[in-house]
Amino acid sequence: MATTTKVFVAQLAGLPVFGPDGESIGKLRDVVVALRVDRLAPRVLGVVVEMATRRRIFVPMLRVTSIEPTAVTLATGSVNLRHFHKRPNEVLVIGQLLDARAAVESTGTEAIVMDVAIEPTRTRDWIVCRVAVRNRIGRLGRRGPVQVLPWEEVRAPGLTELAQTPQGAHRLLALFDGMRATDVAAALHELPAKRRYEVADALDDERLADVLQELHEDDQKDVLSHLEDERAADVLEAMDPDDAADLLAELSEMDKNRLLELMEPAESAPVRRLLAYPTDSAGGLMTPEPIVLTPDASIAEALARVRNPDLTPALASMVFVCRPPTDTPTGKYLGCAHIQRLLREPPSDLVAGALDTELASLHPDDSLTQVTKYFAAYNLVCAPVVDEQHHLLGAVTVDDILDHLLPEGWRETTDA
């Protein structure tokens, strides 16, 4: 991404910033990093650039193509000219971290942050990698030598120890508000149990369900066991049926049946059907809520259905056409329509005219190996699961397969 692999932020202050054609944009004034609730390296979000008009704007780090000792260059594309305002989950390195007090964990000594180094990862993200600190010696705070330490060895204000502060739960909720569910789950995993429960209690059912789906199964069971039974059932209802079934399958028979009884019958019915299959079979992997249409539906209706923001990209890649009823298990399965095909057809045409009737379907008893080979053979991200009576039971998506193929505990690891 950038020609320099490691950069100390203080050296960037005041550097000219140029566009891809060499046009002057302004000067770099600060670097914005994301507030974290764990000890992992904070991610660099972008830079603050001061334009000739004195207006300060934010430029995402992915727009930065080159950082040289004399200048910073941006990629082609428009720049948001709105005035920069720091969000609650952001920290300014130059404005807030430099000259701040910190603690060196290995020695327990107090230090002053002199500089912060950032570097790119293989995924093109930038992270804080090292911190230059000067030790404070004695009660008078005499200055000691400067050390450059790994980020993990320095406790810097504003970026760490949020989980331990008295108002931590309140601040965490504000921080989590703008984060993806998978990132919130990773942060919850690092929290002390007490703080994790406080956050779970404060989240609404829908948000907690989204986060719970991204947690490791041990953390899922821990959070679920903390909740009152009535609320636990409400959260399970808000989860995707396949994820709820996976979680319930990890509980004892008594706990599983108790929670299923507390769920609304309409919500528990698809979960019960999924629990009848092994977790590593097509039936256990599938979601029972794909997009199902009747043959007389128009392509415009199909496209409107796939625009639902609650659908994952994989599930929105395909619609299935069946005779009524359209709730799974459906009436006779007629075929599927790929979204790429739908986009090429007139919206007024019937979806039945765009069907792929040649694509083989999965059987609910197919093993994980068979499902994986099927996806590889047909280059799909979503596939139908059909029983022997030609009823559509659900759909398997590629993310469900990856969850089972990746090594146990993969959610708890990071690979920068």
Q: What is the pLDDT of residues 330-378, one digit of tens each?
A: 999 999 999 999 999 999 999 999 999 999 999 999 999 999 999 999 9
Domain boundaries, the chain: 1-160, 162-276, 292-403
Residues 6+ away with beta carbon under 8 Å from 56:
29, 48, 49, 50, 83, 84
CATH 2.30.30.240 fits 1-160, yes or no: yes
CATH code for the part of the protein at 292-403 = 3.10.580.10
Q: Tell me which of 228-242, 335-349, 397-411 is least confident.
A: 397-411
For residue 409, the model assigns a pLDDT of 58
User: Does position 29 have pLDDT exceeding 90, yes or no?
Assistant: yes
User: Does position 87 have pLDDT exceeding 90, yes or no?
Assistant: no
Tell me the per-residue pLDDT of 282-333, one tens digit each, with 9 for 90 and over.
999 999 999 999 999 999 999 999 998 888 899 999 999 999 999 999 999 9
- What separation in angstroms does the CA of 324 have from each of 302, 305, 366? 16, 17, 26
> Domain 162-276 adopts which CATH fold?
MgtE N-terminal fold (1.25.60)
Q: Identify each DSSP E strand in 82-218 by its residue range.
A: 90-92, 101-104, 109-120, 126-137, 142-150, 154-155
For residue 36, the model assigns a pLDDT of 67
Q: What is the mean pLDDT of the chain?
A: 86
For residue 372, the model assigns a pLDDT of 94
Residues 6+ away with beta carbon under 8 Å from 242:
274, 284, 285, 286, 287, 288, 394, 400
Q: Are 287 and 258 in contact (CB under 8 A)?
A: no
Classify residue 196 as exposed, middle or buried by CB count within 10 Å of its CB (0-12, 13-18, 19+): buried
